Amino acid sequence: MINENFLNLKTSYLFGEVDRRTEAYQQRHPGASVIRLGVGDVTLPLAPAVIDAMHAAVDECSRAETFKGYGPEHGRAFLREAIAETDFPGLGIKASEVFVSEGSKTDMGNILDIFAPGLSAGIPDPVYPLYTDTCIIAGHNIKYLPMDASNDFSGDIPEERLDLVYLCFPNNPTGAVASRKKLTEWVEYALRNGSIILYDSAYESYIRDDSIPHSIYEIPGAEDCAIEFRSFSKTAGFTGIRSGYTVIPEGLALDAADGRKVRLADLWERRQNSKYNGNSYISQRAAAAALSPEGRRQTRAQVDSYLVTASGIRGILADAGLDPAGGVNAPYLWVRTPDGMGSWEFFDCLLEATGVVVTPGAGFGPGGEGRFRLSAFGERHASIEAAERIADFVKTL
Amino acid sequence: MINENFLNLKTSYLFGEVDRRTEAYQQRHPGASVIRLGVGDVTLPLAPAVIDAMHAAVDECSRAETFKGYGPEHGRAFLREAIAETDFPGLGIKASEVFVSEGSKTDMGNILDIFAPGLSAGIPDPVYPLYTDTCIIAGHNIKYLPMDASNDFSGDIPEERLDLVYLCFPNNPTGAVASRKKLTEWVEYALRNGSIILYDSAYESYIRDDSIPHSIYEIPGAEDCAIEFRSFSKTAGFTGIRSGYTVIPEGLALDAADGRKVRLADLWERRQNSKYNGNSYISQRAAAAALSPEGRRQTRAQVDSYLVTASGIRGILADAGLDPAGGVNAPYLWVRTPDGMGSWEFFDCLLEATGVVVTPGAGFGPGGEGRFRLSAFGERHASIEAAERIADFVKTL
């Protein structure tokens, strides 16, 4: 009577386990200076344009004439239109193809509701755990797609057909970006095989290299094989405010068992109509403000600031001989552990010696063993100090 | 490759169809005075305590020292504790058994993730469409539980075993409440059969009769067979703000196929950890403010106001000989159509003649045919006028 697939999940969720070990350390060493470069949460306050918009939205809700109750499940028109115009310039994405929600973690989990169980799902290795866990819960068959230095951390095109292919660029955890050429190969693969690409571009605003695509829809044909997920969390600091969205092009369709074409946007719309009541009005006004000209200037400056931190960490680790990947066009660095240490072993030793919390690569899948992830979202000075502690620690080994 | 269960859903979602017909009417009669007593959305502005708390929370997010990013997926401690203490006085519900989300529609849909597909699900008839639609999407076998005047709109205890039983009191759409005796019979049934009760108490704050239970956990044994879903939407006017929660007692468990006991709270926690990032911080502060002594006084006055509207509508319809059910201890009235008209037929004729929008009973399931639902959430004067228009219309038949 229970969903037995849950019993196939690993017992501990990555970030929960990191928290547990960190708390145990703090109990053993009360007063120790802990710096967390682990969980990828932002730290800069919200942009003034966003704050102003939220105050105004709260005030609207204080008066009967301007009170806002239920809105459309898929987001209010002002936000869907702002997203289509601002985030996909020249790509022909319509407001009606944009489905607003409270975040892309939620959407990337819930999207599996529209697919049959027991599909083959290609999942990058290493990978943010949500793809794996939600595929296990849904009873899909996972085929790992190794993404490592041998393929520029953007994968080799598989020989076999896969029903679903998860891609995430700029990548969490590796910080890798995919070239236009590689993304084109993935889209061609999907079109050839009738696969659906689930494209996570939560970190697209960190791309500063003009040759790197921000959206899968920059690749011809992607509108016939790809769903794209985006979030305001890392673009505008909305990890506590909650707003994101999913793009499903109107032509994207699959055959039902009886042969009729079924539009995936229709299935998602029905799924959300049945199980969702829309993103908070306050959050939607906040998101629209982040997309305004002023909001874009302010939030871009925040992203720039995190990129400066990433660059600083990268320099210190490189000087210590660690040869970090990522940290350019992305807020994450993906670093090989010294002396071939296991990634949880390194996590424990580093924490015990320095109080610095990283995220063990093995928590992101088998291909993450022997690596650790650093986030550039922490406060600048603390993050640089943490990088220096890591560099000093490595010298002691 | 798609979830074929979606193809078993009826084409049009109830409220969407109501909107479509209303818009068509407005196009045929530009300038007509339309009053919507259909969709159950609130209209009173948010309570001052809630507004103040949201402004303060926005200000917190404007400064680095008080900025709030990711919180726990299941809600911040201040809110979980306030809910356990305030909403379940004396019932022994712990903060750790309260799982905050952005609404109970979402939770009641998503809860099915923790159960196997193909279960037998007892669903009241008539019923708010979400239970039916989400059970169809998940591939469950629906057994309708007729709830009509013959059983005080609270159902007859079934002969056969059901895996899941949905109950909603005060009821949407009928406005019925369940007596302590009837709820005790449902709990005893569930305990006897190993059924899980999914108890929707979104409207509990409308109960003014002290003999009526507000929570299923007032019934002994419910902690071993029931999950309760609540929302701030109708209690505090949060339909646009989004906050709700689910209670899963820690002892509630089912046997897995291999015989081990699995706690449903553990499954839900894992489901939410994998697919959810928590309710907006602003919304959580708003919800906590609604539970403060001042917030409770203010929101209770709002509920009282809607109950006065319900009573006014009820009186007018009763005088017109319509004998409405509901509208006492509940914001909904459930009214028999005159002369045995079909409920969509009545909807169309009433709209055409008066501009009043009701919700056709048939949209809530086969048992709703020949009835219509009125909501007391509209602005007072407009709602009373709509009731008078209905009364006048009925006289013309």
The verdict on residue B320 lying in a domain is: yes
Nearest by Cα to B34 from B371, B375, B357: B357
Q: Please tell me the total number of residues recorded for chain B in this structure.
A: 397
A133 → chain B, closest CA residue: B274
Two tokens, residue B386: 């709509």
Closest-CA residue to B128 (of B164, B160, B162, B175): B175
Which of B4, B8, B102 would you mutate first to test chain A, the one with the most A CBs within 10 A? B102
Among B248, B271, B292, give the residue marking a domain's end.
B292
Is residue B56 located within the same domain as residue B75? yes
* Chain-chain contact of A115 with B254 (C-beta, under 8 angstroms): no
Residue A59 distance to chain B (closest CA, Å): 7
Cis status of the peptide bond prior to A126, with omega within 30 of 0: yes
Whether the predicted pLDDT of B206 surpasses 90: yes
Instruction: Give per-residue pLDDT as tens, A310-354.
Output: 999 999 999 999 989 999 999 999 999 999 999 999 999 999 999
pLDDT digits (tens, 9 = 90+) for B234-289: 999 999 999 999 999 999 999 999 999 999 999 999 999 999 999 999 999 999 99
| A&B contacts, CB < 8 Å | 237
Residues B286, A26 contacting (CB under 8 angstroms): no
- Which residue type is seen at B232? F
Q: Does B56 touch chain A (CB under 8 A)?
A: no
Residues of B in contact with A194 (CB under 8 A): 1
B270 and B384, same domain (yes or no): no
Task: Take residue A310 and report the two structure tokens written for it.
Answer: 């990433």
Both B385 and B272 in one domain: the answer is: no
On whether both B203 and B124 belong to a single domain, the answer is yes
Q: How far is CA B61 from CA A48, A52, B15, in A?
A: 10, 11, 36
In a domain, B39, yes or no: no
Task: Please state the rounded mean pLDDT for residues A245-256.
Answer: 98
In the predicted structure, residue A239 carries a pLDDT above the cut 80: yes
Out of A238, A264, A291, a domain closes at A291
Question: With a CB-CB cutoff of 8 Å, which residues 126-185 of chain B face chain A?
Answer: 129-130, 133-134, 137, 163
Q: Please tell me the distance in Å from B340's CA to the nearest CA on chain A.
A: 30
Task: Establish if B224 belongs to a structural domain.
Answer: yes
Which long-range contacts (C-beta less than 8 Å, at least 24 apart) are formed by B251-259? B251/B223, B251/B224, B252/B196, B252/B223, B252/B224, B252/B225, B252/B226, B252/B227, B254/A1, B254/A2, B254/B194, B254/B196, B255/A1, B256/A2, B256/A4, B256/A7, B257/A4, B258/A7
Residue B224 distance to chain A (closest CA, Å): 15
Q: Could you say which of B6, B54, B257 has the minimum Cβ distance to residue A4? A: B257
pLDDT number for residue A12: 61
Choose the final residue of a domain: A268, A291, A314. Answer: A291
How near does any CA of chain A get to the CA of B58, in Å?
6
* Of A16, A46, A64, Cβ closest to residue B61: A46
Task: Check whether residue A322 and residue A225 sit in a common domain.
Answer: no
Instruction: Check whether A42 has a pLDDT greater than 90.
Output: yes
CA distance B366 to chain A (A): 19
Chain B: closest CA distance from residue A90 (Å): 30
- The answer to whether residue B40 is domain-embedded is no
Give the 3-state DSSP-derived string for chain B, with helices as H, strands as E and coil as C: CECHHHHHCCCCCHHHHHHHHHHHHHHHCCCCCCEECCCCCCCCCCCHHHHHHHHHHHHHCCCCCCCCCCCCCCCCHHHHHHHHHHHCCCCCCCHHHEEEECCHHHHHHHHHHHECCCCEEEEEECCCHHHHHHHHHCCCEEEEEECCHHHCCCCCCCCCCCCEEEEECCCCCCCCCCCHHHHHHHHHHHHHHCCEEEEECCCHHHCCCCCCCCCHHHCCCHHHCEEEEEECHHHHCCCCCCCEEEECCCCCEEECCCCCEEEHHHHHHHHHHHHCCCCCHHHHHHHHHHHCHHHHHHHHHHHHHHHHHHHHHHHHHHHCCCCCEECCCCCEEEEECHHHCCHHHHHHHHHHHHCEECEEHHHHCHHHCCEEEEECCCCHHHHHHHHHHHHHHHHHC
> pLDDT > 90: what percent of chain A?
95
Per-residue model confidence (pLDDT) at position B40: 83
**Given an 8 Å threshold on Cβ–Cβ distance, is B1 in contact with A115?**
yes
Block residue for tokens 């386990």: A17
| Residue A38 forms part of a structural domain | no
Q: Is residue A246 within 8 Å of residue A83, measured between CB atoms?
A: no
Q: Which of A42, A116, A262 sits opposite B69 (nearest CB)?
A: A42
Q: Look up the CATH number of the domain holding residue B309.
A: 3.90.1150.10
pLDDT score, position B38: 79
For B195, nearest residue in chain A (alpha carbons): A1
Check whether residue B299 and residue B284 sit in a common domain.
no
Element (H, E) at A61: none
Q: Is A306 on the interface with B (CB under 8 A)?
A: no
Residues of chain A numbered 363-382 and touching chain B (CB < 8 Å): 379
Distance of CA A214 to the CA centre of its chain: 13
- State whether residue B119 sits within 8 Å of chain A by CB: yes
DSSP H helices, A194-255, are 233-236
| Percent of all residues in chain A with a pLDDT value above 70, rounded to a whole number | 99
**Tokens 């929600």 sit at which residue?**
A101
Looking up tokens 């320095």, which residue turns up?
A354
Name chain B contacts of A277, Cβ cutoff 8 Å.
102-103, 105-106, 233, 239, 242
List the structure tokens of A250. 């109107």
Question: Is residue A37 domain-resident?
Answer: no
Q: Pairing mode, if any, of strands B98-101 and B120-125?
A: unpaired
pLDDT of amino acid B68 = 97
Minimal CA separation from A340 to chain B, in Å: 30
If asked whether residues A21 and A144 sit together in one domain, one would say no
Q: What are the residues whose beta carbons fall under 8 Å from the beta carbon of A65, sequence distance 6 or more? A: none
- Asked if residue B9 belongs to a domain, the reply is yes
As a whole number, mean pLDDT of residues A375-392 equals 96
Is residue B41 one of the residues assigned to a domain?
no
Residue numbers of the domain that contains B299? 4-32+295-396
Residue B50 φ/ψ region, left for φ over 0, alpha for ψ in the -120 to 50 degree band, beta for the rest: alpha
**Same domain, residue pair B185 and B80:** yes
In single-letter form, the type of residue at position B291 comes to: L
The pLDDT value recorded for residue B11 is: 67
Question: pLDDT for B338-390, tens place per residue?
Answer: 999 999 999 999 999 999 999 999 999 889 999 999 999 999 999 999 999 99
Q: Taking 70 as the threshold, does the pLDDT of residue B127 lie above it? A: yes
- CATH code for the domain in which residue A216 is found: 3.40.640.10
Judge: A67–B46 Cβ closer than 8 Å, yes or no.
yes
Asked if B283 is an interface residue toward chain A (Cβ–Cβ < 8 A), one would say yes
- Kindly state whether residues A282 and A347 are assigned to the same domain: no
ipTM of this complex: 0.96
Q: Residue A86, exposed/middle/buried by CB under 10 A (0-12, 13-18, 19+)?
A: middle
3-state secondary structure of A199: strand
Report the sign of the C-alpha dihedral through residues A20, A24, A26, A30, in that order.
positive
pTM of the full structure? 0.96
* Residues A253 and A325 grouped into a single domain: no
Sheet holding B244-247, edge to edge: B98-101, B244-247, B226-231, B196-200, B164-168, B120-125, B141-146
Which residues 239-278 in chain B show a CB within 8 A of chain A? 239-242, 254-258, 262, 264, 267, 270-271, 273-278
pLDDT tens digit string along A174-226? 999 999 999 999 999 999 999 999 999 999 999 999 999 999 999 999 999 99
Name the residue among A262, A222, A261, A226 with its Cα closest to residue A246: A226
Report pLDDT for B12.
Answer: 61
Please report, for residues A238, B13, B148, B227, the alpha-carbon distance to residue B133 in angstroms, rounded to integers and kept in the order given. Answer: 32, 9, 21, 19
Minimal-distance CA residue of chain A relative to B234: A69
CB contact (8 A) between residue B280 and residue A242: yes
User: Pairing mode, if any, of strands B359-360 and B371-375?
Assistant: antiparallel
pLDDT in tens, B93-124: 999 999 999 999 999 999 999 999 999 999 99
- Clarify whether residues A183 and A332 are in a common domain: no
Are B62 and A43 inside 8 Å of each other by CB?
no
Domain count, chain B: 2
Is B48 an interface residue toward A (CB < 8 Å)? yes
Is residue A79 within 8 A of residue A87, CB to CB? The reply is no
B278-321: pLDDT as tens digits? 999 999 999 999 999 999 999 999 999 999 999 999 999 999 99
Residues B359 and B302 both lie in one domain: yes
Tokens of A340: 């071939």
B230 to chain A, closest Cα gap in Å: 14
Report chain B residues whose CB lies below 8 A from the CB of A283.
Answer: 280, 282
pLDDT for the residue numbered A255: 97
